[in-house]
């Protein structure tokens, strides 16, 4: 730690003043009720709806013509969408859903790249009081099928290509899915017409909108009404659908202002994919709530192009991933020096630990240090962060958001929370590892896992929400990430459940058993590695290895599929007969985590 000195936030006379000027003062005065008062509420006391707070209130006020989205498509020209147009288009979408017989609380899934259609469909569905669930466009057919089935999808919004490749092959397995709406390119491009009608069983979004009214009055929305389902991976079992309500907008709005330091004239760029919680909470909801201009870049990572976007769009606040910064770092500082990045005021990251060397590199190369933030699908919004006004200890995840009480809970050898004599949980002293935990009290906290109360209840102990992450706190209250307490893999900012990967591998006739772990990777943090034992009659070798890799990639997509496969006929087992991932990890060179335990209780 000492290799990296604290980065001081000394403000010179002409530097801009951040929204929060002093952490300790803000922490003492902050209240969620006050934060809620900075929102409008639906006209006529009709409740609280995310679509109104993000779009309609700006469109009916002074920001009507302010640019909400600056879309950079993969092919074609850059387009802009104002708050006024986003309000009209999303109203058309809400009316179109109504016309299809889609009603309040119906599930609308969105499998879309970053285009303006993504925003129109998410906001429009929320206006119609549907429950929205975003899916990752790089998922293969199997993760898509499983989530659509678990979530009871009634409507799916996607593109013609994604439909043909990933959805058409599994459509017959989804009897509850009534409508598939397809859109391509940007709003301005107009209907697909011939191309879309060539896909049986789909409707052309642009045509649907053409015939729909562009005014829509949002009905009564209770702040506790379900708004979003975000699927997340667990150690065992199918993916979990974390349930979020409209009140979550209070957290998104407050954290955007205080943790991301967003201001009305900012040009903001969130690089996260909309299929993950960051891409929705901070790619769609938070920046729109603040009324800022968002850069919506359809393309993937490309160092030279990304520097170009930062420069030419004049990005002022940038929310990205440690993996992306490590890739830029690998590209060399010379590339950055070819670009004017002087507009950049604040850089933050999320998704995996941000190494101290990257924080320092960011200050040297981008001109501002990267600010790590910590949160997860369940918490819905930023929980622990480094702030514009607060000194950075490189490598630390920062300090709890002003309205959040966080701690580190002491654990016994089995990983259970230690209890005091009075039955309360023992908080670890400064400098000791334990489980990162929070007092659930903020608006964007998840309200349950879809259809799985048992797993939901298991997330809490003695009034604390258990995050599954191990951390320690230093004497000054800065938190430091230590590792995961379970087997979930963090790769390039994505959370990957080993069970889902193992299940797919075991569908292959050659595979008798599979154990999947994360192994360290200099770029992605961790990558997925699978150990498989083979059925009799199959021979381990390069051909079979490549076949299994291809098999897994086809079904899971490149993000979730293993990047390495090893053959092992002697996979270690728990007493209950499950593959012991902890022992697989301990065999990997450079992986101390998990030690050499020979017994492990299977869940």
* Binding positions for another protein, rule: CB under 8 A: 74, 138, 300-304, 327, 330-332, 335, 492, 523-524, 527, 546-547, 549-551, 553-554, 558-559, 563
Closer by beta carbon to another protein, 304 or else 474: 304
> Cβ of residue 138: shortest distance to another protein, in angstroms?
6
> Cβ of residue 332: shortest distance to another protein, in angstroms?
6
Task: Check: CB of residue 443 under 8 Å from CB of residue 248.
Answer: yes
Closer by beta carbon to another protein, 165 or else 416: 165
Task: Report d(CA 327, CA 330) in Å as an integer.
Answer: 5
> Cβ of residue 523: shortest distance to another protein, in angstroms?
6
Is the dihedral angle over the CA atoms 28, 29, 34, 39 positive or is it negative? Answer: negative
> Cβ of residue 339: shortest distance to another protein, in angstroms?
13
What's the DSSP call for residue 44?
G
Beta strands per DSSP E along 44-96: 67-72, 79-82
Q: Which residues contact 445 (CB under 8 A, 6 or more apart)?
A: 378, 379, 380, 465
Closer by beta carbon to another protein, 50 or else 137: 137
> Cβ of residue 145: shortest distance to another protein, in angstroms?
17
Residue 51 — φ and ψ, nearest 5°? -65, -35
Task: Check: CB of residue 600 under 8 Å from CB of residue 574.
Answer: yes
DSSP letter for each residue of 579-591: B-HHHHHHHSTT-
- Distance of CA 317 to CAs 222, 278, 313, 351, 481, Å? 32, 15, 11, 17, 24
- Token digits of residue 370: 């990267």
DSSP alpha helices (H): ranges in 524-580? 542-556
Closer by beta carbon to another protein, 56 or else 526: 526
Closer by beta carbon to another protein, 113 or else 283: 113
Closer by beta carbon to another protein, 162 or else 212: 162
Closer by beta carbon to another protein, 32 or else 551: 551
Beta bridge partners of 319: 270, 348
- Distance of CA 272 to CAs 233, 276, 297, 466, 493, Å? 17, 7, 10, 25, 9
Closer by beta carbon to another protein, 76 or else 550: 550
Task: Report d(CA 516, CA 563) in Å as an integer.
Answer: 11
Closer by beta carbon to another protein, 492 or else 530: 492
DSSP alpha helices (H): ranges in 465-556? 498-505, 542-556
Number of C-beta neighbours around residue 588 at 10 A: 17
> Cβ of residue 549: shortest distance to another protein, in angstroms?
5
Task: Check: CB of residue 414 under 8 Å from CB of residue 423.
Answer: no
Closer by beta carbon to another protein, 37 or else 305: 305
The helix (run of H) or strand (run of E) holding residue 110 is strand 107-111
- Distance of CA 142 to CAs 165, 207, 232, Å? 12, 30, 15
């Amino acid at each position: 730690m000492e290799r990296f000195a604290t980065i001081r936030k000394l403000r010179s006379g002409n530097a801009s003043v951040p929204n929060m000027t002093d952490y300790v003062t803000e922490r003492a005065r902050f209240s969620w009720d006050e934060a809620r008062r900075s929102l409008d509420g639906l006209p006529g006391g009709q409740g609280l709806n995310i679509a109104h707070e993000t779009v309609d209130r700006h469109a009916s006020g002074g920001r009507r013509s302010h640019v909400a989205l600056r879309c950079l498509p993969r092919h074609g020209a850059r387009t802009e969408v104002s708050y006024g147009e986003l309000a009209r288009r999303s109203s058309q979408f809400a009316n179109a859903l109504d016309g299809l017989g889609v009603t309040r609380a119906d599930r609308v899934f969105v499998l879309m790249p970053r285009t303006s259609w993504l925003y129109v469909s998410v906001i429009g569905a929320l206006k119609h009081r549907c429950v929205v669930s975003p899916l990752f466009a790089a998922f293969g057919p199997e993760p898509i099928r499983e989530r659509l089935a678990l979530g009871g999808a009634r409507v799916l919004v996607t593109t013609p290509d994604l439909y043909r490749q990933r959805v058409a092959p599994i459509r017959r397995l989804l009897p509850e899915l009534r409508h598939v709406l397809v859109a391509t390119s940007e709003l301005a491009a107009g209907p697909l017409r011939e191309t879309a009608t060539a896909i049986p069983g789909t409707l052309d979004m642009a045509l649907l909108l053409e015939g729909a009214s562009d005014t829509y009055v949002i009905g009564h929305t209770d702040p506790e009404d379900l708004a979003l389902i975000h699927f997340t991976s667990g150690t065992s079992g199918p993916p979990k659908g974390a349930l979020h309500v409209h009140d979550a907008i209070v957290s998104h709005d407050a954290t955007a202002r205080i943790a991301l330091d967003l201001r009305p004239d900012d040009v903001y760029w969130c690089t996260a994919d909309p299929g993950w919680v960051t891409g929705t909470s901070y790619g769609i909801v938070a920046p729109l709530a603040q009324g800022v201009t968002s850069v919506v870049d359809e393309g993937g990572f490309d160092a030279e192009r990304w520097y170009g976007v930062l420069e030419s769009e004049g990005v002022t606040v940038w929310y990205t991933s440690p993996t992306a910064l490590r890739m830029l770092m690998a590209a060399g500082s010379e590339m950055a020096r070819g670009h004017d990045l002087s507009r950049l005021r604040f850089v933050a990251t999320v998704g995996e630990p941000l190494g101290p060397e990257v924080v320092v590199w960011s200050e040297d190369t981008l001109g501002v240090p990267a600010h790590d933030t910590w949160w997860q699908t369940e918490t819905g919004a930023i929980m622990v962060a480094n702030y514009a006004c607060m000194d950075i200890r490189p490598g630390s995840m920062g300090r709890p958001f002003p309205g959040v009480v966080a701690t580190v809970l002491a654990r016994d050898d089995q990983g259970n929370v230690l209890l005091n004599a009075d039955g309360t949980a023992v908080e670890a002293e400064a400098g000791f590892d334990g489980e990162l935990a929070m007092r659930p009290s903020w608006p964007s906290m998840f309200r349950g896992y879809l259809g799985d109360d048992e797993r939901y209840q298991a997330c809490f102990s003695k009034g604390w929400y258990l995050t599954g992450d191990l951390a320690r706190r230093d004497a000054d209250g800065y938190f430091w990430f230590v590792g995961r307490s379970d087997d979930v893999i963090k790769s390039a900012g994505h959370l990957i459940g080993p069970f889902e990967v193992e299940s797919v591998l075991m569908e292959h006739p050659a595979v008798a058993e599979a154990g999947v772990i994360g192994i360290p990777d200099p770029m992605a943090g961790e990558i997925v590695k699978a150990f498989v034992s083979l059925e009799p009659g199959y021979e381990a070798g390069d051909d079979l290895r490549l076949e299994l890799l291809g098999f897994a990639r086809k079904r899971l997509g490149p993000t979730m599929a293993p990047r390495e496969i090893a053959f092992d006929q002697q996979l270690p087992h728990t007493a209950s007969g499950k593959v012991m991932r902890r022992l697989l990890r301990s065999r990997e060179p450079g992986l101390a985590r998990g030690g050499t335990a020979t017994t492990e209780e299977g869940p």
